[in-house]
Chains A and B, each alone.
Chain A
Amino acid sequence: MDGRSARFCRLVFAGHLWPILCLARIAVTLAGAMLYFIEQCLNGIQLGMLLFLLAAGLTLIFGIMDLVNLAHGSLYMIGAYFAATFAALTGSFIAGAVLALVATLLVGMAVEVIAIRRLYGRDHLDHVLGTFGLILFFNELVRLIWGPAGMTLPLPNQMLTAVQVLPGVYYPAYRIVIIATTLVVALLLYLLVMRTRIGMLIRAGASNREMVSALGINIKLLYTLVFGLGAALAGFAGLMQAPILTVQIGMGENILILAFVVIIIGGIGSIRGAFVASIIVGLIDTVGRAFIPDILRLFLSNNAASTLGPSLSSMMIYMLMAAILVFRPEGLFPAASK
């Protein structure tokens, strides 16, 4: 109950009015708190959706090709730069996004053929070194092509508004678009992997690479396609996030750490796990940020709570990861194959 309702209640009682009025006032306050909680959950889900786009590609590549790809964040960055460039050239946000998606897919496949292919079957440390090299390469390449200042991908004006999703809950229109399109992408990905011939090959390739190639399937081409798909997903995440955050060098590096946390929590190689873990991580991060400082203020001074809150809420994700590693080292949804 907040101060205003307490004052209101005192007034009601002093005036010998029906206590029911006071209860109604408390109910309104609680409903307001509930709506605010829903809004914060939407924020968490939106972050989760973005993480899913990154983590899905990462977990596919990690689970199927057994490749640790630190350069996934670079593809996220490339997607955002392509989208900003193409949107400026075509004058249309959607055309820019579609072109950027295709371009990132092609870049991903080219990277696989030129560099990644040589890393299969080698030690994970070689993967880390090789793909870390790619991060440096892409950062410098972007600096050469687009310059150090970064870019912006402006939204169409009709997107600069909040939509009433529930009575009293306003939510930025563009963030709703992110949630909706990612859900569609997740569904398409599920159908692709579980219901199509190529998905079957991907799953078979994950279980037994030699057997699949012995059956006459071009496993090299399959891997190139999977890597391209992962790249396109990362690029999609980058271009969707570009209007919210700015497009800049190294933009994928921080978020990649969260994406790795997601695939560890969800279970490496499992797209379903990535989906659930993304939403969990997104909710913990955002809801923690929104409420922990307020909870701390009950015990601590305002200043200490404001300082401690953000650090504590960012730690919670890693505490969850540590707990998962202790109690379910395979993750929440271990991939069935291995």
Chain B
Amino acid sequence: MQQWQRRPGFRLVDSIGSSALSSGTLYDKVWDLHQVAELPGGSTQLFIGLHLIHEVTSPQAFTGIRDLGLGVRHPERTVATVDHIVPTSSQARPFADPLAEEMLVTLERNCSEHGITLHGLGSGRQGIVHVIAPELGLTQPGMTVACGDSHTSTHGAFGAIAFGIGTSQVRDVLASQSLAMNKLKVKRIWVAGALQRGVYAKDLVLHVIRQLGVKAGVGYAYEFAGPAIEALSMEERMTICNMAIEGGARCGYVNPDATTFAYLKGREYAPAGEAWARAVAWWSSLASGPEAVFDAEERFDASSIAPTVTWGINPAQAIGVDENVPSLGETEPNERPLTEEAYRYMGLAPGTPIAGLAVDVCFIGSCTNGRLSDLQAAAAVAKGRQVAPGIKAFVVPGSEQVAAAAIAEGLDGLFREAGFEWREPGCSMCLAMNPDRLEGRQISASSSNRNFKGRQGSASGRTLLMSPAMVAAAAINGKVTDVRALLNA
């Protein structure tokens, strides 16, 4: 029998390797603190400080603990909301879609049975799980945060170790408040310089993914650091960490600093009174120190980044708004089959300028870009202008709190006057589990996070990812537009 030889050093998943090098990083400190036990075979039992659940990935997990005769170990560390399946035009119960209604009823029953707080529709606290946990002050530095959703990496913006899990792992966290995990290595993404006017956190993270690809983060946590990251607001940091997973990194984080503490102060679940000073002292001690050693590092200059748009079928297939769809010759040999598939699926020829590409639907929202500052940035573009004829444009606030704050500023009226629809909070057309979806081969300009084939609800629908301001610019002109031209007009 022919025997193929094993090549030395080949590893299936990088994370199975040693991470002894990354001593002194925030990731190491938080990991060490939350270690419960070493499990047979070398994985670690890790305590989960905050478990967020929603209607899509939890029902089978509750069935799982019920089948095992178990309860929820820490219901007070488990927080639920409903986001993926909620309609955004009318949220009256029962929902028109009986499957959506069944999912919410199931979540309500499970939370009630196990004593879990559910921030439901109309509570004033409902919204996309990755929007509400930070705004309620639930997400804090130094925590481990798990949720059955890959964009849980968002919470790393606070200096938490936050990652997505599957439903079997949701069951494990419900039952034990812990998970069997393998430690990741840490790759520092150092960003110098400053973002230029009209260039946003979304552009920065799309640029990083474009340069590194969708696989570079596999086996790593991304630590985002450097002057350009320190200058970002918390909402901008959440946008960056949210998309770490699109670069393959299961978690991304930013070291906590004065910006983090100022955001948290006074929030409902944040420490208060005498505990506040103790909390800030501990949080400050967690940041990766000057002695921290990283397993890898990549460096970028924010000042050279242009508004960035995806043209293909994964988030790394992105270009500056002033560039053309790349040719095969400009593509890494490994990536060429996927590039050719993207040409075919998107109906775009190499060399086509992305600016000027006509769009059909414009979506502002999602856990990436559905926060108040995102709506403000889009509103600054929409103000006094009109959505182009034939374009469907809609704004979905990330949460009831975001909606209330936007309405208090008059943003709902501003968007409506400009021809946008103003909707109720939810995940909406990011993944189209509710009635908001593309039809046929429609092209969307979308502030969400994934441009995968079929992602926005039509098997042939096409998605161009961009910043909320760029989505607003596309809505006004009916085509992909450099938002800087509108901001300067």
Bound pair: A and B? Answer: no
Chain A residues close to B by CB (< 8 Å): none
Chain B residues close to A by CB (< 8 Å): none
